[in-house]
Structure 1
């Protein structure tokens, strides 16, 4: 239920973005940069990080949308559920496990990050640019999770499917073009 009385109780994030277009446009630019610009991580891997962080935070809206988006980019169905239940025994690619462990720890206990956490990412074959990208995606989705939860934004699985497919097909830049339209 949206905490913004001027919006419907079932308001979506797109409706919030339309109500506050100036910060939304900047946020979507940042999303496009972090989630779709060239990176050591493919778009699906970045969506996997986003969905994982959102799952750790128990943000159903972002977890649902970004799980669908990650799956649209080829992440196997059920992988996120398994990773959140037990990352070590999950079918997540061995190179991605230390990355997800890193962003999970950064989300849960940010002041407890250590050199050993970064070294595990490097030992899996990632470089400093990749660690930087993973941290920025993690930070962005911790921000978005708090925004969504703080505004009382919720969505069902049907909306997550529509939104996730839209993000796969048009990216965040495509979402920005919807700010001026009348319907989500």
Structure 2
């Protein structure tokens, strides 16, 4: 079994604060295994709490469908070459979108995927914001509006992009490893 992260020590589950153990146990029961991101982020409990709370807000208080969130995550993570997030969220995308090939397409080059014009605009924006945030302006927001995204949806898209740029960088520096289970999920 590969350690959850290679560059920092992974805390022992039994030594974590009660609230973190409870959250990890809930996730383990729900998925059948403990995603390594949970074990890794236990390294810094205050950061774990904030990370998980923001993640939960992003997926629970949004105009975006869960598959759209995962499309953004996989695209951003592909641009950032983040192995953990490409593999883990690729599995979630395959499940939520019921599309076994989509995650691989988005992770390597979202422009090669068969997408609706709305989703293409959303992912173009996500990639541009990731690669060259200084280039983003009002015309980019207008383009999303023209593709039917509301102000709130644009905020949500931007929030997911920002959060996963943070997450990708943490996973990269920690050398976080995807669980073996993620590789075959939804295929």
* TM norm structure 1: 0.77
The partner residue of 2:7 within 3, 9, 31 is 3
1:91 aligns with 2:114: yes
Q: 2: CA distance between counterparts of 1:6 and 1:14?
A: 10
Contact 1:48 1:75 (8 Å CA) reproduced: no
The partner residue of 1:34 within 58, 61, 66 is 58
Q: 2: CA distance between counterparts of 1:161 and 1:89?
A: 21
Q: 1: CA distance between counterparts of 2:83 and 2:10?
A: 23
In structure 2, the CA distance between the partners of 1:114 and 1:149, relative to structure 1 (3 Å rule), is same
Equivalent position SS for 1:138: helix
Equivalent position SS for 2:42: helix
The partner residue of 1:64 within 83, 87, 90 is 87
Q: How far off is 1:89 after superposition? A: 4.6
Q: How far off is 1:4 after superposition? A: 1.1
Which ranges of structure 1 fall in alignment gaps of 5 or more residues?
Answer: 166-184
Contact 1:83 1:92 (8 Å CA) reproduced: no
Contact 1:50 1:66 (8 Å CA) reproduced: yes
Q: Kindly tell me the number of residue pairs found equivalent between the two proteins.
A: 160
Equivalence for 1:114: 137
Q: 2: CA distance between counterparts of 1:125 and 1:151?
A: 38
Equivalence for 1:43: 66
Q: How far off is 1:25 after superposition? A: 1.5
The partner residue of 1:77 within 68, 88, 100 is 100
Q: How far off is 1:155 after superposition? A: 2.1
Q: Return structure 1 stretches of 4+ with deviation > 6 angstroms.
A: none
Which ranges of structure 2 fall in alignment gaps of 5 or more residues?
Answer: 13-34
1:25 aligns with 2:29: no
Contact 2:106 2:113 (8 Å CA) reproduced: yes
Which structure carries more relative contact order (alpha carbon 8 Å, separation 6+)?
1
Equivalent position SS for 2:51: helix
In structure 2, the CA distance between the partners of 1:127 and 1:79, relative to structure 1 (3 Å rule), is same
CA shift digits 1:41-77 (9 cap, x unpaired): 1111111111111111110101110111111112512
Q: 2: CA distance between counterparts of 1:136 and 1:63?
A: 18
Q: 2: CA distance between counterparts of 1:107 and 1:144?
A: 12
Equivalence for 1:152: 175
